[in-house]
């Protein structure tokens, strides 16, 4: 069974084509990074995968269900989605434990009765994400990195088959980012780990466990395939429309603007100003 099967999907809003003829397949057992600049269509594609918007043209199926033939609310129970908009909707007075427990019911706030086994699971997820110390503390006292990790634990509480992390490293310092990336790596090693989709602007966040990468540019799939085939100087310079140097370190790819980019830019700016 394919986890995601997007076929020739186009999405048009207000006379502009936001997604152009997108086709993309995610097989079971694969973890994907989705990389693209601001406004390239990443979140739009995820909104579609969650059934919040419908393709103008084309077809998609998620976790084996074809859109239009089943209850979307049921599907959403199998998908965990961590994004900045979720972060803002949570109540600051809730403890990390309650936030994680509420993930079972997909509610903002904890209203339902939970079982002892739910409590055990919540504790072990807090531990998996390195958040034990936060268990009984209020959410509004957490740092950005702590918030993200608690939200990932919350998403895992419902045992999703697909876990979407939309720019989880935004606002994190270099150490908080490495910690979060390590935790993400730990998730993939768990039995029954969900398929992961990790959205980012930064190529260096692509951990080795993400063997597949989708490069999206101006609403089109630029390339989709094996990460190692895509992250090279030529292809990435083309993708970002800028000369770049690529360095491999610790099984990850680091981007550096090539030495003449600054000079070229400066010249351009100089010419524009004078």
DSSP code of residue 138: B
Instruction: Measure the CA–CA gap between 94 and 110, rounded to whole angstroms.
Output: 9
Q: If you count DSSP H runs as helices and E runs as strands, how many of each does the chain have, helices first?
A: 10, 12
Pick what 103 binds: ligand ATP, Mg ion, none; C-beta below 5 to 8 Å, kind-dependent: none
Taking contact as CB under 5 A, which single stretch among the options 37-45, 218-226, 228-236, 265-273 is the one that binds Mg ion?
37-45
Report the nearest approach of ligand ATP to the CB of residue 245 (Å): 23
- Give least dist CB 125 to ligand ATP, A: 27
Minimum Å distance from CB 33 to ligand ATP? 13
Q: By C-beta, is 43 or 98 nearer to Mg ion?
A: 43
Shorter beta-carbon distance to Mg ion: residue 128 or 155: 155
Closest distance of CB 44 from ligand ATP, Å: 3
Query: How many other β-carbons are positioned within 10 Å of the β-carbon of residue 201?
Result: 14
Nearer to Mg ion, 98 or 200 (CB): 200
Query: If contact means CB under 5 to 8 A according to the sort of partner, which of Mg ion, ligand ATP, none does residue 14 touch?
Result: ligand ATP
Please state the closest distance from residue 11 (CB atom) to ligand ATP, in A.
8
Q: Provide, rounded to whole angstroms, the least separation between the CB of residue 49 and Mg ion.
A: 13
Q: Kindly report the number of other CB atoms within 10 A of residue 192's CB atom.
A: 6
- By beta-carbon proximity to Mg ion, the closer residue of 34 and 153 is 34
Contact 102, 84 (CB under 8 A): no
Q: In whole angstroms, what is the distance from residue 249 CA to residue 176 CA?
A: 19
Measured between its terminal Cα atoms, the distance across the chain in Å is: 60
Residue 36 site contact among ligand ATP, Mg ion, none (CB < 5 to 8 Å, cut-off depends on kind): ligand ATP
Minimal CA–CA distance to 4: which of 175, 222, 163?
163
Rounded to a whole number, what is the largest CA-CA distance in the chain? 71
Exposed e or buried b for every residue in 36-60, given b needs 16+ CB within 10 A?
beeebbbbbbbebbbbebebeebeb
Question: What are the residues binding ligand ATP (CB under 6 A)?
Answer: 13-14, 18, 36, 38-44, 201
Smaller CB distance to ligand ATP: residue 20 or 137?
20
Judged by CB under 5 A, the residue of 43, 148, 227, 253 near Mg ion is: 43
Question: 40 vs 98, which CB is nearer to ligand ATP?
Answer: 40
CA distance 274 to 268: 10
User: Residue with the closest Cβ to Mg ion?
Assistant: 43
Please report, as ranges, the residues that interact with Mg ion according to CB under 5 A: 42-43
């Amino acid at each position: 069974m394919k986890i995601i099967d997007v076929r020739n999907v186009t999405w048009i809003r207000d006379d502009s084509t936001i997604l152009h003829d997108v086709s993309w397949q995610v097989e079971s057992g694969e973890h994907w990074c989705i990389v693209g600049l601001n406004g390239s269509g990443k979140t739009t594609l995820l909104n579609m995968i969650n059934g919040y918007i419908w393709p103008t043209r084309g077809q998609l199926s998620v976790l084996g269900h074809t859109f239009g033939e089943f209850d979307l609310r049921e599907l959403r129970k199998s998908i965990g989605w961590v994004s900045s908009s979720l972060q803002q909707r949570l109540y600051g007075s809730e403890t990390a434990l309650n936030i994680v427990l509420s993930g079972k019911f997909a509610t903002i706030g904890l209203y339902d009765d939970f079982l002892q086994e739910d409590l055990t699971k919540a504790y072990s997820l807090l531990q998996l994400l390195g958040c034990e110390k936060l268990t009984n503390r209020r959410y509004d006292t957490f740092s950005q990195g702590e918030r993200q990790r608690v939200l990932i634990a919350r998403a895992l509480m419902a045992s999703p088959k697909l876990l979407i992390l939309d720019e989880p490293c935004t606002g994190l310092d270099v150490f908080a980012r490495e910690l979060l990336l390590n935790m993400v790596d730990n998730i993939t090693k768990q039995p029954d780990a969900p398929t992961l989709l990790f959205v980012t602007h930064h190529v260096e966040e692509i951990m080795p466990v993400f063997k597949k990468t989708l490069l999206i540019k101006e609403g089109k799939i630029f390339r989709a395939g094996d990460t190692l085939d895509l992250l090279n100087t030529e292809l990435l310079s083309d993708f970002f429309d800028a000369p770049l140097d690529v360095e491999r370190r610790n099984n990850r790819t680091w981007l550096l603007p090539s030495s003449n980019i600054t000079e070229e830019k400066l010249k351009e700016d100089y010419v524009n100003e004078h």
